Amino acid sequence: MAIAAVISLSITPSQALGSLPHLNTLRSLPSSSSSSSYSTLRFSSIRSNVSLRSTNFQVRASSMSIEAPGRVSPASFLDKRETGFLHFVKYHGLGNDFILVDNRDSTEPKITPEQAVKLCDRNFGIGADGVIFAMPGTAGTNYTMRIFNSDGTEPEMCGNGVRCLAKFIAELENLQGKQRFTFHTGAGLIVPEIEDDGRVKVDMGEPILKALDVPTRLSPNKDQAVVKSELVVDGVTWNVTCVSMGNPHCVTFGIKEGQSLQVDKLNLAQIGPKFEHHDMFPARTNTEFVQVCSRSHLKMRVWERGAGATLACGTGACATVVAAVLEGQANRNCTVDLPGGPLEIEWREEDNHVYMTGPAEVVFYGSVPL
């Protein structure tokens, strides 16, 4: 798939000026910094126009003239409506990356699941774990969130994706500082709040523990929940706890009567699909493999349903802390280390809600022909 990309990256003016002679050989693009003050390098394969923008000056490679001021709002870029092109912003939450689409003018996604698969391809497309659509709110909410996974399936919601969507909405609406939204999702009401430090805290609601509602075919062994139950996968017996955060999760801290799990030693690509497609999970499942570092510090790797091994999973981190508390492995307030970085998770006893706090950052802006 050819991508007519308009790509914005965070670099310093001196770095950009030094690299101008080599722009025609630019091939790889780093993720953006979380710094609030940055210059932008914009590369357009449609217009063959490269410009460096900041609040103080603008340099265009075609003329090398200097203008002031020269800031172009990302919102104006997203307002473009060329026929046959999809405009998007790519975000990531701890490396769990998404293509964000402004879909506020319609209740139907602007692309099909099949197109989403192509766009998510990391070799022939943009590359992402999923495509997220910002849609009109329903049932009294501000917005509706829908998402297509990289395999074209549609999950109920995504924790890291919720944080990215909150930042995307703030950018679309040109909102600054602390903001709170209500999102309608397939998992119900989700309430993200952008904090003063730029991180996003999300009220993920109450965990679902009833086995039939997770869903899992494993027999309940603690009230109506599955807690530290035995699951045979490829001839090996694992201890698992099943939790739904609006989407199904199977959390394991290791095999039966085995040593503590060392998650970095796992062959995730081999074992993950066997959990995901196990007969005990009629809707398939996300799977979290967890190493207990202390009662307030957990380390996790995840195999996501429909996306495979990802660098982070917000709902998975929430399910992990719930499972750890149920098994007596951890406290209700934990740092969960994922390959992409840490999330702060609290399962609050007063309201039974799970709260997730973590970053969401812009990677680049782009346009792609459909």
- Cα separation values, 239 from 63, 148, 233, Å: 65, 31, 10
Q: Name all domains of the chain by residue range, CATH numbers in brackets.
A: 85-205+364-369 (3.10.310.10), 211-352 (3.10.310.10)
DSSP element (H, E) containing 13: helix 13-19
Residue located via tokens 């996501």: 304
Residue 82: its pLDDT value, please? Answer: 67
Residue 187: its pLDDT value, please? Answer: 95
Output the average pLDDT for the chain.
83
pTM for the complete prediction?
0.78
Residue 76: its pLDDT value, please? Answer: 60
Instruction: Choose between 13 and 136: higher pLDDT.
Output: 136
DSSP element (H, E) containing 164: helix 159-172
Contact present, 284 and 277 (Cβ < 8 Å): yes
Is residue 22 scored above 60 in pLDDT? Answer: no
Of 42-46, 231-235, 291-295, the poorest mean pLDDT is in: 42-46
DSSP per residue, 89-147: EEEEETTEEEEEEE-TT-SS-SS-HHHHHHHH-TTTS---SEEEEEEE--TT-SEEEEE
Residue 253 CA to residue 8 CA, distance in Å, equals: 41
Residue 14: its pLDDT value, please? Answer: 33
* Structural tokens at position 358: 């973590």
Sign of the alpha-carbon dihedral angle for 98, 102, 104, 106: negative
Contact present, 144 and 138 (Cβ < 8 Å): yes
Residue 21: its pLDDT value, please? Answer: 30
Which among 57, 78, 72, 75 has a CA at the least distance from the CA of 13?
57
Residue 47: its pLDDT value, please? Answer: 30
Residue located via tokens 């799970």: 354
Residue 87: its pLDDT value, please? Answer: 95
* Structural tokens at position 93: 């939450």
What type of residue sits at position 367? S
Residue 73: its pLDDT value, please? Answer: 60
* Structural tokens at position 229: 């139950």
Give the pLDDT band (50/70/90) at residue 20: very low
Rg, Å, the chain Cα set: 22
pLDDT digits (tens, 9 = 90+) for 52-87: 233 332 322 332 233 334 445 666 666 666 678 999
pLDDT digits (tens, 9 = 90+) for 309-346: 999 999 999 999 999 999 999 999 999 999 999 999 99
- Cα separation values, 48 from 31, 45, 97, Å: 22, 5, 27
Pairing of the two strands 96-102 and 130-136: parallel
Which H, E and C letters describe 248-287, residue by residue? EEEEEEEECCCCCCCHHHCCHHHHHHHHHCCCCCCCCCEE
Of 52-66, 181-195, 198-212, the poorest mean pLDDT is in: 52-66
pLDDT digits (tens, 9 = 90+) for 254-299: 998 878 899 999 999 999 999 999 999 999 999 999 999 999 999 9
Cα 81-85-90 angle, rounded to 5 deg: 95
Instruction: Choose between 46 and 155: higher pLDDT.
Output: 155
**Other Cβ atoms closer than 10 A to 202:** 24
Residues annotated as catalytic (active site), given as ranges: 158, 313
Residue 126: its pLDDT value, please? Answer: 97
Residue 65 CA to residue 62 CA, distance in Å, equals: 8
Q: What is the mean pLDDT of residues 192-207?
A: 97
Residue 260: its pLDDT value, please? Answer: 84
